Structure 1
């Protein structure tokens, strides 16, 4: 069922102004954090009174399972079928047509590629408001003076998903900077974790796209160190490769052969059933070199699975070391191995961290994020 949208009309005296029509714009719909967050947000928004949303996917890179989840949210969904890297002005014409058709007041760009198209729309239609979600770090180093000026001229509000990305936004002078943490559907993960006593192989899980920043190589080296120290482990690294012959994925397989851990580490691709993976894990690890938020950590916490993460970006603020997880130095396989061995030998610690994680996860209910976004849209649209 598609939720109906009516063209906005001026509110009569004494009547509340209708909620603004918001177009959610994203470059592609591959399996990833920004895409997953968009679907969760749109699903939760069905409970937002008066919400009026429409979705547009720019590129032709679409995972069928993700699309099915997105369409199940019930909002009108449009696909432009653009090939990545093509900047034909016809796509801008199509976007402008959707804006007119639905009477769009606000365009919310959910990643860097879609932000550029949203900014072009804003320059073409000055009354349109643009919201951009800042998911990652590093933009301050990429943006020169002209890029920053254009950003401030075209983007009406910036959503930072963590204190780390809020700092990034402040560095580029992002207008109307608002911190709204990512959220998860807590009911989806509640009761998934199955705490065990400290016996048998330690079952390690990492979930995230395959990229050097995610530190999968650090985890593989840590597993090798654990096994060299006599700790029996199994490890599942689940993620998404940019392409089948992804060089980073090939590097990881080569590293596993080099360290002799091919039997202990299993790489799986394109899994959407994160709950099933967490159900078979004793610990969830995020050894990132850079991380804007750490959605995989919140999912693990909500499932009651203890977490270990590198002390970078979002995870450094998300985790209270020793209370709801363990933090280790970034890019340090030995420190990660030490944390894993500590957890393997201490069932009490695993249980206490799991309990702390469950409590912390309550702050990241997707319903809160959906409500906060709705308030931002209304405020921005005036």
Structure 2
């Protein structure tokens, strides 16, 4: 059955992982024959959406009373004229805007919880169905009061998405062995733990290098921390990149030292690039690494553990090669087509709920 699917999110800028996940899903749904629209304040991905046949509508999500009032009215117009079968909200503001509109129009509201650690994530429970991007997020949402009967887990996956169709697959010119980090430069990503762990490993393997790809509010502080290390000359900051995949292709080891991370999209990319992966055992990370089969899991906030894992890979080329091969274990389940199929199954549950409500209402008349 062909569905009309309206995705709602704050914007379509590259700076947000929620946006990447929503854009990937929308483009894949359109590729498989569904009618799809994204309503947002617009951004970097609008040209891609147009090229792939995803319609767009502009709705400002700025958190100001007058703007939000106008946003509800604009969303009502879109729903009335475009007539979606389901509305899928990916951010808290989007869910709050969509809830009264969907109730009035008797349309299922699907919400996706991308960051379960945020206090406002509880508002995603407004959905008819609530998608958690990992089992860990599902556990967190149940603990916060979202009924298990309305929760579904759809693990993040990006491989094969429209965003990557014309990507540059030339390897970045990195000296082997290079360890790469890709992520925002803010405390949740745990970069200081990696830098200190790398410094300890570098004392044993002085030819190793660390490349940091990304920007963020703590960029200046982290650059100064790196400059103060004994191995400062071995640490490079590459800044923000439109597509950091080239750096993963050129690296030997990818490290994600997050303190909290529901289901980071960067891990499927690092695995697709064939890196040996080291990451912290937090939130949805073990699920994305086949519970340690496809990558080495270490405790969070533990530079010594990161050092030990790095040394294990750096001291033995065969071990490094084995873990690069291990990154491919079960990788097909991280494809966007699987995510789209499982999401459609969630929509079906939402539409069943709508039908049941209509049936009960008909009996009561």
* TM bracket (short chain): 0.7 to 0.9
Q: SS at 1:158's partner residue?
A: strand
TM-score (norm 2): 0.85
Distance 2:202 2:115 in 1: 34
1:172 is aligned, of 144, 164, 169, to 144
Q: Which residue of 2 aligns with 1:70?
A: 49
Q: Which residue of 1 aligns with 2:287?
A: 317
Distance 2:236 2:274 in 1: 23
Shift of 1:48: 2.1
Q: Which residue of 2 aligns with 1:56?
A: 39
Distance 1:262 1:86 in 2: 45
Check conservation: 1:19, 1:378, Cα contact below 8 A.
no
Distance 1:151 1:113 in 2: 9
Q: SS at 2:284's partner residue?
A: helix
Alignment of 1:1-382 (within 5 A): 18-31=1-14, 32-49=16-33, 51-58=34-41, 62=43, 64=44, 66-82=45-61, 84-88=62-66, 89-123=69-103, 125=104, 127-139=106-118, 142=119, 152=125, 154-175=126-147, 176-186=150-160, 201-241=176-216, 246=217, 248-320=218-290, 323-382=293-352
RMSD between aligned residues: 2.6
Shift of 1:193: 10
Distance 1:258 1:177, change over 3 A: same
- The one-character-per-residue Cα deviations of 1:38-72 (angstroms, maximum 9, x if unpaired) are 222122223324x12110114x6x3x3x3333332
- The one-character-per-residue Cα deviations of 1:257-315 (angstroms, maximum 9, x if unpaired) are 22244432222333122321111110111100001012211111122111000111111
- The one-character-per-residue Cα deviations of 1:345-372 (angstroms, maximum 9, x if unpaired) are 2222222222222122111111011112
Distance 1:44 1:151 in 2: 23
Shift of 1:221: 1.6
Check conservation: 1:25, 1:56, Cα contact below 8 A.
yes
Distance 1:322 1:373, change over 3 A: closer
Q: SS at 1:221's partner residue?
A: helix
Distance 1:351 1:151, change over 3 A: closer
Distance 1:98 1:322 in 2: 45
Distance 1:40 1:114, change over 3 A: same
Distance 1:87 1:350, change over 3 A: farther
Distance 2:5 2:160 in 1: 25
Which structure 2 segments of 5+ residues have no match? 353-365
Does 33-42 or 320-329 show the bigger shift?
320-329
Distance 1:115 1:238, change over 3 A: farther
Which structure 1 segments of 5+ residues have no match? 1-17, 195-199
- The one-character-per-residue Cα deviations of 1:180-199 (angstroms, maximum 9, x if unpaired) are 11112248599x698xxxxx
Distance 1:47 1:28, change over 3 A: closer
- The one-character-per-residue Cα deviations of 1:305-335 (angstroms, maximum 9, x if unpaired) are 1100011111123335663111111011111
Shift of 1:130: 1.0
Q: Which residue of 2 aligns with 1:197?
A: none
Check conservation: 1:157, 1:174, Cα contact below 8 A.
no
Check conservation: 1:226, 1:232, Cα contact below 8 A.
no
